[in-house]
């Protein structure tokens, strides 16, 4: 099956710093990638949809200037949390579609902002 990786798997940072999370499709080209966020004991919530070579589409309530998404190639999308604060601490998960009906999810990145 298709494999999606994320890096780093976990990160701890100080408040006010920026953190970049990478999402890679390892064995297929992803026309669309999605970024989700999951808080403890809650379900996944979509943050944004990213298509290669175009601007990401953000869900209502998600600040595009705070969560910068770059989808520079068909195998890589990045999410940068700028000026992170403790309330941004969460589990960030990406998924990728290769143009088929199935999406494949990465293992997630746990962010802790102190």
Contact present, 31 and 21 (Cβ < 8 Å): no
Complete edge-to-edge strand list for the sheet that includes strand 67-73:
4-7, 19-25, 76-81, 67-73
- Least separation in angstroms between CB 16 and other proteins: 26
Among 6, 25, 78, 90, which residue sits at the site for other proteins (rule: CB under 8 A)?
Answer: 6
- Least separation in angstroms between CB 57 and other proteins: 9
Q: Is 4 in the site for other proteins (CB under 8 A)?
A: yes
- Taking residue 13's Cβ as centre, other Cβ atoms within 10 Å add up to 16
3-state secondary structure of 95: strand
Nearer to other proteins, 84 or 92 (CB): 92
* Residue whose structure tokens are 């403890």: 40
Give the pair of three-digit tokens for residue 4.
């999606």
User: Per CB under 8 A, which of residues 40..69 are in contact with other proteins?
Assistant: 43-46, 49, 51
Contact residues toward other proteins (CB under 8 A) are 1, 4, 6, 31-32, 34, 36, 43-46, 49, 51, 91, 93, 95, 97, 99-108, 110
């Amino acid at each position: 099956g298709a494999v999606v990786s994320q890096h780093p798997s976990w990160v701890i940072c100080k408040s006010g710093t920026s953190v970049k999370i990478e999402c890679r499709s390892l064995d297929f080209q992803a026309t669309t990638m999605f970024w989700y966020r999951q808080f403890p004991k809650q379900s996944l919530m979509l943050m944004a949809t990213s298509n290669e070579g175009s601007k990401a589409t953000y869900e209502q309530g998600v600040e595009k200037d705070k969560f910068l998404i770059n989808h520079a190639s068909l195998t890589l999308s990045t999410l940068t949390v700028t000026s992170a604060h403790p309330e941004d601490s969460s589990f960030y998960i990406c998924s990728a579609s290769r143009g088929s009906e199935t999406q494949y999810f990465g293992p997630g990145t746990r962010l802790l902002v102190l």
